[in-house]
Structure formats: C-alpha cells, structure tokens
Amino acid sequence: MTVMNVVHMRVKPEQVDAYVAIHESMQKMAGMRNFWLVKSGERSFIVVGEWDSQDAMVAARPAMIANLDQLRPILEDLGGGRGVTEPWSGEVVVKLGG
C-alpha cells in the first residue's frame, strides 16, 4: 500500500533560498520512496512524500518533526489557526502513469 503526505508551507520574505537549501540537505528517511518540493506560489511550497506504508510514515514522524523544527524560524503563519503548516496524509487509491 502506498501512502502519501502533503504539507503546505509559506516562507517568510527573503528566506526562499534558505528554505530550499534546508530541503536539499535533508536525508531520505527509511520507508520513503520519493520526496518532492513543489513551488506553488511566490513564497508558497508543497512538500510531497511517498511512503511504503502508513507504518513507515508514522515511524518517520520524529525525523519529519526534527526537519520542521529547522524550518520553523523561516516559515510564515498560514492564518486561520493553522500555524506554519497545513498537513494532509492518506492511502493512495488511484495512480495513473508509471
């Protein structure tokens, strides 16, 4: 079963290069198949992780939180009580392509 996590973040002005550099230096975690950092706006990004299973993703949460702790100082609050991230995750139910 493939599981995905998707997290939206917005970076403070003048911090985009630092944000990208932090992601480039991150290590691949056990159970992670793929990782993407998607620029969705001028300072908005979406992190997408593809995992072998729900258990693999859950086991990686401490490492993901440690990575987020590096990012917190350069992230902007998203408003509406969301904090600095808007995370979603779940099981893949349809996959098209390779």
CATH assignment of the domain containing 35: 3.30.70.100
Q: Is residue 96 situated within a structural domain? A: no
Query: Kindly report the CA angle at 26 between 20 and 28, in degrees rounded to 5?
Result: 130
Total-model pTM: 0.91
Q: Is residue 75 situated within a structural domain? A: yes
What would the pLDDT profile of 8-64 be if each residue is shown by its tens digit?
Answer: 999 999 999 999 999 999 989 999 999 999 999 999 999 999 999 999 999 999 999
Q: Is residue 22 situated within a structural domain? A: yes
Containing structural domain, residue 74: 3-91
Q: How many structural domains compose the chain?
A: 1
The count of residues in the chain is 98
Which pLDDT score is estimated for 97? 85
DSSP 8-state code for residue 41: S
CA dihedral angle for residue 77, residue 83, residue 89, residue 94, rounded to 10 degrees: -40
